[in-house]
Amino acid sequence: MSTAQQTTLDVAALRSDFPILQTSVHGKPLVYFDSAASSQRPQAVIDAMVAMEQRHYANVHRGVHWLSDRATEHYESAREKVRGFIQARHAHEVIFTSGTTAAINLVARSWGDANLNPGDEILVTVMEHHSNLVPWQQLAERTGAVIRAMDIDDRGHLLIDSIDDLLTERTKLVAVSAVSNVLGTVNSLEEIIAKAHAAGAVVLVDAAQSVPHMATDVQQLGVDFLAFSGHKMCGPSGIGVLYGREALLEAMPPFLGGGSMISNVEIDRFTPGVLPAKFEAGTPPIVAAAGLGAAVDYLQAVGVDRIHVHEQQLASRAREVLSAEGDIRFLSDGSAEQAGIVSFVVDGLQSLDLAQVLDQHGVAIRAGHHCTMPLHKRLGISSSARASFYLYNTVEEIDQFAASMAAARKFLKRGVGRSSTPSKTQ
Ligand code: PLP
């Protein structure tokens, strides 16, 4: 097979897997360009969750009955699928959480509280999502640690060389996103991890925007912690993953206490259970896990490498067609490795107004700060518009988006509807 054949997705066939893509919005076909916020789910994922509800459901790990054993098998098979998807050595290094945010908070509360002291440093980047900033700020408040940040250049790339000056003997943790949810920049994790480890720091990667879109191998990366969410990878909301290296997880105290996470309880003390139960207190997301397992199967069948290439093609096309008007500023220049995320501001227009007019054309994009207020401040803006793509988006949709952008500009630049919701009949 030629490279072109290997990388070309049969998008029409894939689209038929996603019932929601048949939706009409304001009488127009839905163009869904908000997958960075949350992706859509194929029928196979919906079916897996329905089957769980209808045929396999019971609580897991507790029952002595047949149905509980079946539910446990499904739950643990989802963990095994995720293990394979990210190439973890052991299934018990995969902890199910409610999402990326919960996974990062788990590390901050458990590993962070146990390991950080006053004056210790946490190194982040200016492009982080609030979920990879606020838990560290809270940790710093609790422990007296200090937060430092790597900056970006004017092209929207991480100033990677700055890490040499920012890493000190006090740096205990480097917390960095694999892909910026705004800039679409793919960060050079290998270099960051190698330098952080050489300085004796532990590395957490916020992989919310990378695991759904490109191949991930935690062993090859040598990463210590990696967090991601089911709902951004064709799976359901309410489930996410913390990957942690076995030795680190073993040494960490449990974060949430309750049922399932213990091996013994007395009236005044408890002994934690083994991994992964130690970090999965309470009844876990049983149905969502079935959906996540099916999402992994689905993405593997399509091929994440091919998805990445497809999205890059869509992003390049979007940049090309959107720049035709000359009044647009992209928040990153797209010159380094990019994911399928294109964020921009249009001269003289509010991003929210733009998104609302596009919605009237059936085009769903995101507008605002995208949970990256420090990044927006760094860029000298308070909000931006973001179009984000996934395997089910097409070149035709990009062209539809560009045509809707032209119509939206015309409408808004006439001053009609400026800073207010456009008429629903527009
Ligand atoms: N990190 C990044 C880079 C994200 O894009 C997001 C969600 O947009 C998150 C973290 C938070 O994910 P969740 O809301 O699923 O916990």
pLDDT at 151 over 80: yes
The one catalytic residue among 371, 373, 381, 406? 371
Q: Are 338 and 332 in contact (CB under 8 A)?
A: yes
pLDDT of res. 389: 98
Task: Please give the distance, rounded to the nearest whole angstrom, from the Cα atom of residue 266 to the centre of ligand 1.
Answer: 38
Pocket flag, ligand 1, residue 131 (CB < 6 Å): yes
Calculate the alpha carbon distances from 44 to 168, 293, 304, 335 in Å.
48, 10, 17, 36
Task: Please give the distance, rounded to the nearest whole angstrom, from the Cα atom of residue 132 to the centre of ligand 1.
Answer: 8
Task: Please give the distance, rounded to the nearest whole angstrom, from the Cα atom of residue 375 to the centre of ligand 1.
Answer: 15
Nearest atom, ligand 1, residue 38 CA = 8
Q: 120 is written with which tokens?
A: 């210790």
Confidence of residue 415 (pLDDT cuts 50, 70, 90): low
Pocket flag, ligand 1, residue 227 (CB < 6 Å): no
Q: Are 368 and 352 in contact (CB under 8 A)?
A: yes
pLDDT of res. 4: 43
371 catalytic? Reply is yes
Q: 266 is written with which tokens?
A: 């007395």
Residue in 291, 289, 307 with CA at minimum distance from that of residue 299: 307
pLDDT of res. 65: 95
89-140 pLDDT, tens digit per residue, is: 999 999 999 999 999 999 999 999 999 999 999 999 999 999 999 999 999 9
Q: In angstroms, how far is the first alpha carbon of the chain from the final one?
A: 48
Can you tell me the mean pLDDT for 19-24?
97
**Vertex 21 angle, CA 20 and 25, to 5°:** 90
Residue in 313, 325, 328 with CA at minimum distance from that of residue 384: 328
pLDDT at 47 over 60: yes
% of the chain at pLDDT higher than 90: 92
% of the chain at pLDDT higher than 70: 96
Q: What share of the chain is helix, strand, coil (3-state, %, to 5)?
A: 45, 20, 40
DSSP letter string over 183-213?
T-BBP-HHHHHHHHHHTT-EEEEE-TTTTTT
* Cα separation, 55 vs 49, whole angstroms: 10
* Cα separation, 172 vs 139, whole angstroms: 12
Confidence of residue 8 (pLDDT cuts 50, 70, 90): confident
Residue nearest to atom 8 of ligand 1 (CA): 37
